[in-house]
Amino acid sequence: MIKSMTGYGEASGLINDQDYAIEIKAVNNRYLRTAIRLPETAAFLEDRIERLLRQNVARGTVNYVLRIKGTASREMFDINEPALRTVTQQLLEMASTFGTQCTCDISTLLTLPGIVQPALPDNETTDVIANGVLAMTEQALAQFQTMRQEEGHFLNADLKQHCDVIGEELAVISERSDQVIHSYVDRIRKRVNELLSEAKLKLDEDTLAREVAILAERADIAEELSRLDSHMHQFNKACEQSKEPSGRRLDFIAQEMLREANTIASKAGDTEICNRVVNIKCHIDRLKEQIQNVE
């Protein structure tokens, strides 16, 4: 069954007595694009999270956010005290040398490069964080996938409805195409007889047969109808498959369906058939719009 490209999943839990929260959101995109936002203490997990997302998502823009709630200030950053002492000592010496007063406060000194650094966890803490974050990521992905599958059911129902209408129109066109040639024969015979009645000439049936044969060949849409019907079956089959993402395949099939519909309209030369084809093209356009939401 097809899946939607849009979805949302979340998970939260305690790791080392700290609250971690994960959000995964996805919107439409022709290709797969990931945007991962991690705090400094979990930045080392970016590659592993990237691989995990790509294993579960084939198309769409996926936004992944990891937040740490209630983190103690001591655990968020480290102050490079030796560097701070060195800078302070140098400033005092310079003030003494030039006979001035040193007025720099501690908040100004903390803005200097290298004074305040992100607090990095040790190896044991790193393993604990990695195991906890990846487990919560899988929970969020499970919720995310469930939502995409539920939306996929609605998409599949809508696509099927449009396909059913297209199938009904094709059945009418197929039946009508057999009558077009006979109607054309009657019209051309009537018209020629009207033109030749004053000259008292008789219509040559062989000539009429040749004209009808030429028209029949030019207006034959049986092959296009057959191909369009075949595309319909392929489209429905792609919607029902459960393993591989089918959005791009459905988009390609819809393009081929539109091409066959245009050919039918140009060859048929019948008002009713052309009107039916216009309706078919409207529903194909609706298919193409909805396919943009399919993974």
Who's near 25: CB < 8 A, 6+ residues apart?
A: 7, 8, 62, 63
Same-domain check for residues 61 and 136: yes
Look at residue 267 and tell me if it is in a domain.
Answer: no
Same-domain check for residues 15 and 92: no
Q: 180, exposed or middle or buried, with CB in 10 Å at 0-12, 13-18, 19+? A: buried
Percentage of residues of the chain with pLDDT beyond 90: 47
Look at residue 57 and tell me if it is in a domain.
Answer: yes
| Residue 11 backbone phi and psi in degrees, to 5 | -160, 155
> What pTM value is reported for the model?
0.71
Look at residue 161 and tell me if it is in a domain.
Answer: no
Nearest Cα neighbor of 226 from 191, 255, 264 is 264
What integer pLDDT is reported at residue 73 of this predicted model? 43
If you average pLDDT over residues 194-221, what whole number do you get?
A: 64
Same-domain check for residues 130 and 109: no
Same-domain check for residues 102 and 24: no
Same-domain check for residues 35 and 68: yes
Same-domain check for residues 68 and 127: yes
Same-domain check for residues 15 and 62: yes
Same-domain check for residues 23 and 44: yes
What integer pLDDT is reported at residue 72 of this predicted model? 47
Look at residue 243 and tell me if it is in a domain.
Answer: no
Chain Cα centroid distance, residue 292: 5
Same-domain check for residues 64 and 109: no
If you average pLDDT over residues 66-89, what whole number do you get?
A: 71
Residue 76 pLDDT greater than 70, yes or no = no
Range of the domain at 30: 7-74+121-146
